[in-house]
Amino acid sequence: MRIPLVYSEEVAEAITAGQPVVALASDVLRSGVDSAETARLVEDAVRANGSVPATIGVDKGRILVGLSETDIERFASMQGVCVLDSRDLPVVLARGTTGATTVSASMVAAGLAGLKFLSSAEIGGVHRGARRLSPDLVQLTRSQVAVVCAGARNTLDLGLTLEFLDTHGVPVVAYRSDDFPAFYFGTSGLPSPHRVDDPRVMARAIESHWALGNPGSFLVTTPTKPADAIDDETDSLKATTAVMVNTAEVAGELAAAHAKEFSS
């Protein structure tokens, strides 16, 4: 069987025209009263940098590749919307219920839809004491998607997170930065394995990764802007929004550079 994919009009037109598209997780729509506005800010950040946003959702047995304005409002206001990791997709699709996607589920959807870039403020990682492993890390070893993020939260074991990615052959490349970022804290204090400053070089590195036969993702990290970084939890909501928008800006820029470098 084939999983039904429903493309928004904007995304469908972009794919037909060969324009760059950036997938976005929809779990932000479950994060609070301003979630719809936050989702719009993130989408607009992608557009402002030359690409088209495709916020991913699941509804009525279909994967939605790009949410309409009506969909965004509906997901944000609906009670009982599940937040889906990759393992949850088959059951929710079979039941025909509604779900907002995390990074891992969005990577699956992006791969099915043929989208090469995904933006997320953060990825999950290895929990301290190695008690648990995020589904995001496992999916990074499986989906051929370039994931642009601001690293992972410093409440995780970021050293072990980097070790996992290294062991499983997932490139971790900092864009115009030397360090592996820690979400809205800016830096984890850990150096990134690689740094790339030129978006054209990043595009070639991404394509080289897959041309070498690697099955998994390519992880691009970008720290939050210095003015938005914080060193405690006093204003985490504002800082989280800033990270999401900044990451979307970078993803839009890199997807556009990739499309230009590899346009037929």
> Using one digit for the tens of pLDDT, what is the confidence trace for 21-50?
999 999 999 765 589 999 999 999 999 999
Contact in structure between 115 and 65 (CB atoms under 8 Å): yes
Q: What's the mean pLDDT in 165-170?
A: 97
pLDDT score of 130: 81
Q: Is 141 helix (H, G, I), strand (E, B) or coil?
A: coil
Contact in structure between 150 and 181 (CB atoms under 8 Å): yes
pLDDT score of 20: 98
**Residue matched to tokens 């309409």:** 68
Q: Is 157 helix (H, G, I), strand (E, B) or coil?
A: coil
Contact in structure between 130 and 165 (CB atoms under 8 Å): no
What is the extent of the structural domain holding 199? 5-262
pLDDT score of 170: 98
pLDDT digits (tens, 9 = 90+) for 51-98: 999 999 999 999 999 999 999 999 999 888 899 999 999 999 999 999
Residue 183 in tokens: 């979400």
Q: Looking at residue 35, which CATH number applies to its domain?
A: 3.40.1790.10
pLDDT score of 183: 93
pLDDT score of 236: 84
Residue 140 in tokens: 């990074």
pLDDT score of 71: 95
Contact in structure between 89 and 31 (CB atoms under 8 Å): no
Structural domain total, the chain: 1
pLDDT score of 31: 63
